[in-house]
């Protein structure tokens, strides 16, 4: 049984070690939520700054509170302790990254079967967790139709539409608006950093790869950044705090965004790595920072070129590669379209939607407000 005490100055309840401010308890009273939608319906301004409590006690695994205005609140103790202030609520989608380098090898890339993903929620969940941990996986056994990849994508969520369409065909085209649609080599890059929110997961389903050349290259941007943080922490800081402009424009659109090469989240953890030589726009840092930034940036480019990070593999028809486009860099060797056909069918699903699918599967389809 947890001890329950009202704090000496009367503005919090202490349950065991955890301290719950009274305003928080009243704001999160189960009655503050709509019984069906579980959305908060309480207007915070209907409460006083410090609601007055007349009684607090633990009974039957719950905390029971009586307020001065006559309202009563009942909290399950395990729910309360899971939400104790100062700690993050449990998130089933918080899969820690497993960083990798060239020595992972093509054989080490997580591999999952298309039919299992389509038929079994357990297989879907296992695939999503591993894809999130490594930022990279291959789905094998894909039927030879462009819809097959999309069916797998829709097992997760809806697709992310961009100016290149809901799906896009990576083939050598007569009037390309993008280097991907030529037979040129593509150096390592992340797609669409010129967008306000670059797409999360990228899917490239291989329908044909019969031309000479056209091998795929991947590198884990989180691994390179992890090494940079240890070997050159000042460079890491510069890349994390200097916004860089990116721009894509063609006949239809002119999309621009600024973002640091390494984007940290609110906890200072690395959240996103951006790398796109082709659509990096004109640098616009102040003149007195420009030369120093170039030096740091060039050292970063040298690091990304290090074979220690590069994983090469050759996609075969029937395989679909899936990677976190805001972490894992991808590229390809040039190919000779005269020697055979090469066709990848591509689309994106955002990170938030993959996370949502993991959470919904973990809660087993049950209803109710969660962590
Ligand atoms: C792309 C791309 C890689 C390839 O379409 O964004 O990088 O292997 N394609 O063609
Ligand atoms: Zn690309």
Ligand in closest contact with the CA of 216: 1
Cβ of 216 below 6 Å from ligand 1: yes
**What are the distances in angstroms from CA 149 to CA 154, 264, 309, 361?**
9, 32, 28, 21
Q: What is the mean pLDDT of residues 1-30?
A: 91
**What contacts 165, CB < 8 A, 6 or more positions away?**
none
- Rounded Cα distance between 112 and 243, Å, is 37
β-sheet bridge partners, residue 216:
313, 332
Highest average pLDDT, of 2-6, 14-18, 56-60, 259-263, comes from 259-263
| Ligand 2 midpoint to CA 232 (Å) | 28
Neighbouring CB atoms inside 10 A of 223's CB total 22
The string of DSSP letters for 76-128 reads EHHHHHHT-TTSPPP-TT-PPP----GGGHHHHS-EEEHHHHHH-HHHHHHHH
Cβ of 346 below 6 Å from ligand 1: yes
- The 10 Å CB-count burial string (b at 16+, else e) for 142-158 is beeeeebbbebbebbbe
Task: Note whether 73 and 25 are within 8 A (CB).
Answer: yes
User: Tokens 């726009």 identify what position?
Assistant: 281
Task: Note whether 53 and 64 are within 8 A (CB).
Answer: no
Class of domain 4-90: alpha beta
CA 202 to ligand 1: nearest atom: 6
Confidence of residue 365 (pLDDT cuts 50, 70, 90): low
Instruction: List the domain boundaries for the chain.
Output: 4-90, 102-359
* Biggest CA-to-CA distance, the chain: 83
Residue 353 in tokens: 């939607």
Query: Does 4-90 match 102-359 in CATH topology?
Result: no
β-sheet bridge partners, residue 326:
none
| Ligand 2 midpoint to CA 31 (Å) | 49
Nearest CA to ligand 1 atom 7: 331
pTM of the model: 0.93
- Rounded Cα distance between 182 and 19, Å, is 61
Cβ of 279 below 6 Å from ligand 1: no
Residue 331 in tokens: 């590229």
**What kind and span of H or E run contains 134?**
helix 121-134
Q: What is the mean pLDDT of residues 132-159?
A: 97
Nearest CA to ligand 1 atom 8: 332
| Ligand 2 midpoint to CA 193 (Å) | 11
Q: What is the pLDDT of residue 369?
A: 40
Q: Is the pLDDT reported for residue 71 higher than 80?
A: yes
Mutate to test the pocket of ligand 1, among 160, 176, 186, 209 (most ligand atoms within 8 A of CB): 186
CA 344 to ligand 1: nearest atom: 10
| Ligand 2 midpoint to CA 162 (Å) | 13
Cβ of 191 below 6 Å from ligand 1: yes
| Ligand 2 midpoint to CA 108 (Å) | 22
Q: What CATH number should be reported for the domain whose range is 102-359?
A: 3.60.130.10
Confidence of residue 2 (pLDDT cuts 50, 70, 90): confident
| Ligand 2 midpoint to CA 332 (Å) | 9
∠ CA 276-136-355, rounded to 5°: 95
SS3 label, residue 205: strand
| Ligand 2 midpoint to CA 252 (Å) | 19
- Count of alpha carbons within 13 angstroms of residue 239, beta-carbon side: 27
Q: What letter does residue 238 receive in the DSSP assignment?
A: H
Q: What is the pLDDT of residue 311?
A: 98
Q: Are strands 111-113 and 136-140 parallel, antiparallel or unpaired?
A: parallel
Residue 279: burial class (beta carbons within 10 Å; 0-12, 13-18, 19+): buried
Mutate to test the pocket of ligand 1, among 204, 207, 319, 328 (most ligand atoms within 8 A of CB): 204
Ligand in closest contact with the CA of 346: 1
- What's the mean pLDDT when you consider all of the chain? 95
Confidence of residue 368 (pLDDT cuts 50, 70, 90): very low
Q: What is the mean pLDDT of residues 324-334?
A: 98
Task: Note whether 10 and 37 are within 8 A (CB).
Answer: no
**What are the distances in angstroms from CA 238 to CA 135, 245, 299, 316?**
24, 15, 12, 40
Cβ of 344 below 6 Å from ligand 1: yes
| Ligand 2 midpoint to CA 141 (Å) | 23
SS3 content of the chain, % helix, strand, coil (to 5): 30, 30, 40
**Residue with more model confidence, 88 or 36:** 36
CA 168 to ligand 1: nearest atom: 5
Region for 24 from its dihedrals, namely left if φ exceeds 0, alpha if ψ lies in -120 to 50, beta otherwise: alpha
pLDDT digits (tens, 9 = 90+) for 173-185: 888 988 989 999 9
Dihedral, 57, 58, 64, 66 alpha carbons, nearest 10: 0
- Rounded Cα distance between 258 and 83, Å, is 36
Q: Is the pLDDT reported for residue 325 higher than 60?
A: yes
Q: What is the mean pLDDT of residues 186-209?
A: 98
Nearest CA to ligand 1 atom 1: 180
């Amino acid at each position: 049984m947890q001890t329950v005490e009202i704090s000496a100055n009367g503005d919090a309840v202490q349950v065991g070690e955890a301290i719950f401010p009274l305003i928080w308890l009243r704001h999160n009273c189960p009655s503050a939520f709509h019984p069906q939608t579980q959305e908060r319906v309480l207007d915070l301004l209907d409460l006083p700054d410090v609601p007055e409590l007349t009684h607090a006690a633990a009974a039957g695994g719950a905390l029971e509170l009586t307020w001065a205005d006559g309202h009563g609140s009942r909290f399950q103790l395990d729910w309360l302790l899971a939400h104790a202030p100062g700690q993050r609520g449990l998130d089933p989608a918080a899969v820690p990254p497993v960083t990798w380098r060239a020595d992972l090898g093509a054989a080490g890339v997580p591999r999952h079967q298309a039919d299992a993903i389509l038929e079994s929620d357990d297989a879907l969940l296992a695939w999503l967790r591993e894809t999130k941990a490594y930022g990279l996986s291959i789905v094998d056994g894909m039927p030879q139709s462009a819809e097959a990849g999309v069916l797998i994508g829709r097992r997760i969520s809806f697709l992310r539409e961009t100016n290149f369409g809901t799906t896009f065909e990576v083939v050598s085209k007569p009037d390309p608006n993008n280097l991907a649609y030529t037979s040129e080599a593509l150096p390592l890059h992340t797609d669409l950093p010129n967008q306000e929110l670059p797409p999360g997961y990228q899917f490239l389903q291989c329908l044909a790869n019969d031309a000479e050349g056209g091998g795929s290259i991947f590198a884990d941007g989180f691994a390179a950044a992890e090494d940079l943080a240890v070997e050159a922490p000042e460079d890491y800081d510069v890349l994390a705090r200097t916004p860089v402009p990116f721009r894509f424009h063609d006949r239809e659109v002119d999309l621009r965004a600024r973002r640091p090469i390494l984007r940290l989240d609110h906890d200072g953890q690395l959240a996103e790595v951006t790398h796109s030589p082709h659509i990096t726009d004109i640098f616009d840092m102040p003149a007195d920072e420009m030369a120093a930034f170039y030096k740091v940036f060039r050292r970063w480019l040298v690091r990304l070129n290090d074979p220690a990070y590069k994983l090469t593999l050759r996609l075969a028809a029937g395989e679909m590669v899936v990677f976190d486009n805001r972490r894992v860099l991808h590229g390809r060797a040039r190919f000779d379209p005269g020697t055979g056909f090469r066709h990848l069918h591509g689309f994106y699903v955002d990170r938030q939607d993959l996370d949502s699918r993991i959470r919904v599967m973990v809660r087993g389809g049950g209803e109710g407000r969660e962590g």
